[in-house]
Structure 1
């Protein structure tokens, strides 16, 4: 069971008695004090040792060597044993490189690290980074899919296994987690984040940082996390990547900053800047973001790295030449320049003309050296280069087993008329679609270290799970996109889509013939893996027209059709929802996608995923999200259309699938919502409880969600906000009473003066299985 801000009791279970003996409480208190004092002493010693080491090094460093620590070039591929002859070797020897990224294998990294340790003057080790986003060799579901598990233990496990595998291959730093809130599914990088909600996003941020960094960052199986993209990258205008972001500070603090802040509170070691501008200034030059907010308000003590060439890109933003924008970035609080080499090549000149100070350069250099110290690289530069580890720690059967289990938990059952799913393990299945037999697309976007050939396709998964009990008739039926040029744009990064030169009509005829021989049709349709991700914005979020034509033809056969939907974003599926009897959204499930999909299709696993992002009825509703404001002319709930109210002429305000939505093969009944009090004062605690019963015939999991609405405030407040949730497991017929504890801390928000506090008044407390279908009770809480 996964529990956030709450407890859960099975029916008939009684609370254990509290400790009543005063001397026991005193003893426990003394023990806590002693432990705390010991921890503080040890922490102070570590900090003192680190300061001594860093001070010693910096006293010996030339200006050029200090600037070298701020330089993060891309390594490219390096042939094992030939590192000394590579283009980067000369810079490393000269002390002009602080770290490298996108080089992998322990053997190659050991070769490169040896150059820094044995052939550079001060023997400062390099830090090695990589985009380990949702797994390393063992690939887990894309981050948007992981967020739909609502299972923080599972998400932490993903990060933990990713760290184990990456560190076994020489990597000690990952550019993850991405925690950008996004309410615009046109934006391709929605696939890399945790959806639209700041509270859920914050829980995910904490779980990811904990999984990557563990309790000891210097351990050989942990890696440093890098929260990104600071800030507001997910709010790009028109959903077009790298585009302008413009919003009020009150919205930043209340709706977008929380996941970043949560990562900082969790101890994340590094922060990556975003490409977009904030308040008219590109993030990499924003002192307000990188110093005032990040360090002064939030107390961040790690280092800040830019995204790929973000400093250089400020030239096109219109802030000046490379020398100017590099100085602006350093002064803003950026410590490391990814790829652009503006710091390396211009800061010495800027120092000469007093555009920057030596103190600013020293501060950035110190933060990089401190990160290396925290990673244990000064004690053992080769701690991540144990050549015996890859064989035993990477792509293991246990890791693949967990990847399969977690993938099943990420799938969201969107529709299931007449209990079409689960399928029987018998008869004939027509498996149709461009994604039915494409193992290379299963890992999804940003799976840079994956061995795609080891991934499991839907076809292979059905064969593995159903064996010879099921006869499979396969047909491709359609290309991913109707246009070969458009499809070539997404058949990249080792993930071909295998363009079929036959006409659409010929492929559909073949698919219909296959369907007519079957008992049921499984249509594997949707996006290719690289239709979402970086620079994969879409102006049309419908199913591609050629795939929809195929789906219509399959439905005309009269055979029951199950749509297995691949996507990296919310799609507009109004026609599909109206016409297709069963829809299972499988996102991109990673290495074990095909096996996991088959596990759910045949009912070996009951789906339990819940949406972390709203699905619109059509693109015109975008941006659409559950925690919106009310307006002064709100449309009554369930109504449409009323003149002079906030609504559309041609579509209701309702989403197609609301935030938190997801079906199951069983059914859950919510009993009476109970509150410990309707009148509260000061620091009292509100206990909220509700019995939940599995009223179906199979075991299942349900995510019980608690929302609060602040009805009157000094600033306008959302119609509801997620404040707590629990994921519970219920056997058929079982009841559990789910209990949440709410305190004034859960009522706080940033007011117009950006003060974080709560206000006296009435609040609606809502509990249910999604953001739409809730029970509501009202309370009054006085200060």
Structure 2
């Protein structure tokens, strides 16, 4: 059997320049699936100027779905491709293929990387058996602005937590043996880099930050994914330091490839090579192609700058063919790693597809992860519900299958368990009435009157409110992140009945919850919980499961605070300093500085207390392990799980350091009345940061360490680092 290097090198040497360049082209499935008449170029092919020969020699397919279609496309391609080079099939399998899991922001709120890994394993299995080779996931962009619609694709605002999840997703997608395990897919981490920092929370917008901030907060999760063996990277749409990522040689060639040593495939996002022109850094498609290939971009997704201009650039002496060869070699190496030269159809199997997709065990894990991802934000003693209570379920999400989120590409709303169906499995049908009350953004008097009448005849009102899935996700940014006014009006109307009200929220971003959290007795943040969402939420509402979710992104008090995040810097005039002046401090006149609900926050149906927090020594040295411990007691009446969080602050640094930084967390399960000691090991390495010269090291001196249930409510202790 030939080695990977020998095999692909031999293929590369046989390829013409045209064949090499076409290998760098990614086209959507309609270009391959027989939608054009023989000998005729129509539709997208004509618009892009793509020829039959370009299609015949292209290297990868975007968005084909199902084993039958993939096998058909691959068979036809291999008959026409001169060297028999198989296609790569890629798709957006973000949080599930057809078994849909909660959106990634919700998965982040589980603080459970083990379940996240299992969700990726299931997504990979369903995708692989359907013929997919590469998923455009995980997205690990750090996010601080909930106006940006794509926060739903991230796991939150913290670089450490994002890094933990980045590794978990890559392990789940790829496993230990990507070549031998045909039920795994290659992962593609995105979007490199700092896409989540778009100004104004507006998609595709400018990103401008210092290199230290980039390295300290935005790069760690990408690096974690690559350290875990992630096979691919996708470029971001945004500029960074004035240069679009797709043509940014310093970012892609110098940092990603040379400094980090990444030699996998780098792919542009959809159309991003051609977008160098409207960005204003390329005068035409030829210059865009030259800048992208020079920056190290191997695959151009859905624009034709490479196929139309790379050969011309070579012939004019403006481009060395070595850059094209190395890009082709990386693509061939990935195909060999996936075993496509031995079996071009890899895991695609029509029969097994029917057995695997949405099977019972997959749906069970979707339900479990949805339960763990929901966050109880408020509870004034009204939850859990009791089976004998009469309930009015009201709201646009009461009987909606729109619980999957914007990136559930092949998910079925019709197959999704609705909240009403989930509640009916928990209580007698006669105890639950249902009424829409309003639509997402509009409503009628008839709807409101019907809801008011239904609510008047029950013990408790459960409101199912939120955003439609197209109100978050790519290109779905909002300046006003409150619930639509018609839903707030519905709450106010039902409040007149003076009955207990529970709000369940289905949404893809942290919201401004004024008019919700202050007007209802309980608030359960369910996000878009996935295929089993209705059952998972019902499990929590009726106490069959106890809430354990903790926020991975702060909820602002008001959109006027944004960006608001827990690991912020102090100022020279902090509001809460002991000697602060009454007026001339860093504050708002009309709202608090603090978020409504902080990072790490979440309630349970039981309660926990922290005591006996202690350090193993007053000084940390490089030689002696340093321990931080605390006793946690379940002070409630039922068993429950607490997520104990550890934060650190470097009190005096060479550059300003955050007020708190998450460094570790542990899940601890406690019976009612039970106490356990939770111990963390803290190392000098965890105290390092990027200094003024970007050197990554720690400072000797004083540090504060915090342990507690969230970033706000934590016990503080002081120690010194000796060097």
TM-score normalized by the length of structure 1:
0.89
248, 263, 267: which one aligns with 2:210: 248
Checking the alignment, whether the CA contact within 8 Å between 1:92 and 1:115 is kept in structure 2 is: no
758, 765, 773: which one aligns with 2:698: 758
1:317-466 to structure 2, matched below 5 A, reads 317-319=279-281, 320-417=283-380, 419-439=381-401, 441-466=402-427
Partners of 2:701 and 2:525 lie apart in 1 by 41
1:77-88 to structure 2, matched below 5 A, reads none
Q: CA deviation at 1:96?
A: 2.6
Checking the alignment, whether the CA contact within 8 Å between 1:626 and 1:658 is kept in structure 2 is: yes
TM-aligned CA distance change 1:640 to 1:72, over 3 Å: farther
In structure 1, the partner of 2:637 is 697
TM-aligned CA distance change 1:638 to 1:603, over 3 Å: farther
Question: 1:114-139, CA deviations, whole angstroms, 9 ceiling, x for partnerless residues?
Answer: 12322210000000011000001100
1:27-106 to structure 2, matched below 5 A, reads 49-76=3-30, 91=52, 95-106=56-67
TM-aligned CA distance change 1:637 to 1:134, over 3 Å: farther
Partners of 1:695 and 1:754 lie apart in 2 by 46
Checking the alignment, whether the CA contact within 8 Å between 2:101 and 2:529 is kept in structure 1 is: yes
Q: CA deviation at 1:384?
A: 2.1
In structure 2, the partner of 1:299 is 261
Partners of 1:536 and 1:387 lie apart in 2 by 35
Partners of 1:671 and 1:166 lie apart in 2 by 47
1:582-593 to structure 2, matched below 5 A, reads 582-593=522-533
Partners of 2:183 and 2:37 lie apart in 1 by 25
1:707 partnered with 2:647: yes
137, 142, 149: which one aligns with 2:110: 149
Q: What is the Cα-based RMSD across aligned positions, in Å?
A: 1.9
1:190-205 to structure 2, matched below 5 A, reads 190-205=151-166
For structure 1, which segment, 134-143 or 315-324, has the greater mean C-alpha deviation from structure 2 after superposition?
A: 315-324
Partners of 1:641 and 1:566 lie apart in 2 by 42
Partners of 1:63 and 1:683 lie apart in 2 by 57
TM-score normalized by the length of structure 2:
0.96
Question: 1:46-79, CA deviations, whole angstroms, 9 ceiling, x for partnerless residues?
Answer: 9x81111111001100001101110001113976
Q: CA deviation at 1:449?
A: 1.2
Q: CA deviation at 1:104?
A: 0.7
Partners of 2:650 and 2:52 lie apart in 1 by 57
121, 124, 132: which one aligns with 1:163: 124
1:724-735 to structure 2, matched below 5 A, reads 724-735=664-675
Partners of 2:494 and 2:35 lie apart in 1 by 55
1:637-652 to structure 2, matched below 5 A, reads 642-652=582-592
Unaligned stretches of 5+ residues in structure 1: 1-45, 483-502
Q: CA deviation at 1:765?
A: 0.6
Question: 1:567-608, CA deviations, whole angstroms, 9 ceiling, x for partnerless residues?
Answer: 110111133222211000000000000011101000000010
1:290 partnered with 2:252: yes
Partners of 1:639 and 1:607 lie apart in 2 by 40
Question: 1:143-197, CA deviations, whole angstroms, 9 ceiling, x for partnerless residues?
Answer: 0000000001000011000000000100010000000001000000000001100
Q: CA deviation at 1:642?
A: 3.0
Question: 1:616-650, CA deviations, whole angstroms, 9 ceiling, x for partnerless residues?
Answer: 11111100000000011111169999311111111
Partners of 2:577 and 2:418 lie apart in 1 by 43
TM-aligned CA distance change 1:179 to 1:511, over 3 Å: same
TM-aligned CA distance change 1:679 to 1:256, over 3 Å: same
TM-aligned CA distance change 1:169 to 1:640, over 3 Å: farther
In structure 1, the partner of 2:228 is 266
In structure 1, the partner of 2:539 is 599
In structure 2, the partner of 1:209 is 170
For structure 1, which segment, 548-557 or 637-646, has the greater mean C-alpha deviation from structure 2 after superposition?
A: 637-646
Partner of 2:28, secondary structure, is coil
TM-aligned CA distance change 1:242 to 1:94, over 3 Å: closer
Checking the alignment, whether the CA contact within 8 Å between 2:54 and 2:307 is kept in structure 1 is: no
1:729-744 to structure 2, matched below 5 A, reads 729-744=669-684
93, 106, 124: which one aligns with 2:85: 124
Q: CA deviation at 1:298?
A: 1.2
Partners of 1:352 and 1:724 lie apart in 2 by 55
TM-aligned CA distance change 1:366 to 1:79, over 3 Å: closer
Partners of 2:347 and 2:34 lie apart in 1 by 16
Partner of 1:311, secondary structure, is coil
Partners of 1:407 and 1:714 lie apart in 2 by 43
1:658-697 to structure 2, matched below 5 A, reads 658-697=598-637
Partners of 1:628 and 1:357 lie apart in 2 by 46
444, 448, 451: which one aligns with 1:508: 448
1:310 partnered with 2:310: no
Checking the alignment, whether the CA contact within 8 Å between 2:703 and 2:718 is kept in structure 1 is: yes
TM-aligned CA distance change 1:683 to 1:354, over 3 Å: farther
Q: CA deviation at 1:93?
A: 8.1
Question: 1:629-684, CA deviations, whole angstroms, 9 ceiling, x for partnerless residues?
Answer: 00111111699993111111111111100000000000011111111101122343
In structure 1, the partner of 2:101 is 140
Unaligned stretches of 5+ residues in structure 2: none
1:186 partnered with 2:147: yes
Partners of 1:560 and 1:92 lie apart in 2 by 67
Question: 1:742-765, CA deviations, whole angstroms, 9 ceiling, x for partnerless residues?
Answer: 111101111111111111111101
Partners of 1:318 and 1:59 lie apart in 2 by 37
In structure 2, the partner of 1:32 is none
Q: CA deviation at 1:392?
A: 1.6
Checking the alignment, whether the CA contact within 8 Å between 2:488 and 2:515 is kept in structure 1 is: no
465, 474, 496: which one aligns with 2:434: 474
Q: CA deviation at 1:231?
A: 0.5
